[in-house]
Amino acid sequence: MSMTMQIFLPFLLLNRLVLGSSPLSTVFQLSTTTVTPTTTETATAATNLDSALTDGSRIVSFNLTSHSSPTSTSTGTSTENTSAVTSAAPTGADTTVAAPQASGTSAPIADSSFSPSCGDLWANKQSEDWLFTTLCPWANGYPRWPLSNLDYALNFTDPLNLPAINVSIYNESYILNEPITMSYAGARADGNADGNKAWWGGAFRNAILSSNSNPRLVDAGKGQFNPPEIIREEAGGLALQALTGMFYTKEDLGQCDKLLWESWLDDARSSPVVIRSKPNTSNGLEDGDRYFSVISFSRDTSLVRLWDPIAGGSTAYFEMDSKVLRTDVKTLWHLTRYV
């Protein structure tokens, strides 16, 4: 794939999804791939998926900014605090509040606004922090970007209550895979801060597990992510590749100066930036060998806003001085720049 196509393809799909004059159904063909449910890691299509398929047709249009209120079909209430955390916060501690139980058959894919955000996500399995650390800034820079990989392919009466959705990711050759049908029942438990409100994080997690096209990330035979000792060094970049289909750059902070470091942090304004802490930290980051999302950077205050996937949800934001943060960071990933 040419360099131009690498940059243009995700935005072409996004433009067709949100702005295009052609129906939404033209983005992807209906997936014929349905993953069998298991009780472990693997993504699943719900047993009631056939009823959702009805005549096999698609939602050909719906307003992305104005929707009717969804019909409640799930249990549990959110414990999320929607106020932003603007001061430095301890990092590295596990979240002490479990996500609200989601036991319904459908829910909005990305809240009522159809705008994916970091607040929707939670790495409830700590070894998967690298994945949700990548999903978060992917949505942060331009929330509609993740939607370009989703296909509202089934004929539902209310798109805010989706029992299933088609998800497309890229393989290790940067080729977009055929979409896989992910079910709410299979994706609601893992990766979501509140599966009653949004489940796009769990849907992408399960799509990667089920695609069999990213062997460096997934043990296809077991339907599980490869163990940390195999993937942790490269997981941040591999996740960027699988989600965006674009080339990434891995930066070793051992040789960078202040100007270069700050230029990388600046990238978070429009594209994903992911960091991994050193095995032994000594300053602001309490835990070593952890992944964090870079949300924003202010040159005026030298503050970096970060998101902690293991804390999860909208209370996982915290800030650190960029100079202090730099001393605790081992590696940074960002999308490759072309000049």
Q: Is 284 a residue whose pLDDT tops 60?
A: yes
Mean pLDDT of 274-296: 90
Residue 30: per-residue pLDDT: 31
**pLDDT single digits (tens) 95-136:** 435 567 777 789 999 988 889 999 999 999 999 999 999 999
Q: Residue 257: which residues within 8 A CB-CB, separation 6 or more?
A: none
Residue 282: per-residue pLDDT: 75
Helices 235-244, 200-211: inter-axial angle, 10-degree rounding: 100
User: Distance between CA 306 and CA 286 in Å, rounded?
Assistant: 14
- Which residue ranges make up each domain of the chain? 3-58+83-335
User: Distance between CA 192 and CA 187 in Å, rounded?
Assistant: 8
Mean pLDDT of 175-187: 93
Higher pLDDT: 9 or 76? It is 9
Q: Is 59 a residue whose pLDDT tops 70?
A: no
Q: What percent of the chain has pLDDT over 70?
A: 68
User: Distance between CA 306 and CA 311 in Å, rounded?
Assistant: 12
User: What's the predicted TM-score (pTM) here?
Assistant: 0.74
**DSSP readout, 96-140?**
SSPPPP--SS-B-SBTTTT---GGGB--SSGGGHHHHHHHHHHHH
**pLDDT single digits (tens) 136-179:** 999 998 898 999 999 876 665 566 888 999 999 999 999 999 99
Mean pLDDT of 273-283: 89
Long-range contact set of residues 122-126: C-beta below 8 Å, sequence gap at least 24: 122/95, 122/191, 122/192, 122/193, 122/201, 122/309, 122/312, 122/313, 123/191, 123/309, 123/310, 123/312, 124/95, 124/98, 124/99, 124/190, 124/191, 124/312, 125/190, 126/94, 126/310
Q: Is 66 a residue whose pLDDT tops 80?
A: no
Residue 21: per-residue pLDDT: 27
Do 108 and 160 meet the contact criterion of CB atoms below 8 Å apart?
A: yes
Quick one: how far is CA 335 from the chain centroid? 15
Tokens describing residue 212? 């069999």
Alpha helices in 184-289 (DSSP H): 184-187, 200-211, 228-231, 235-244, 258-266
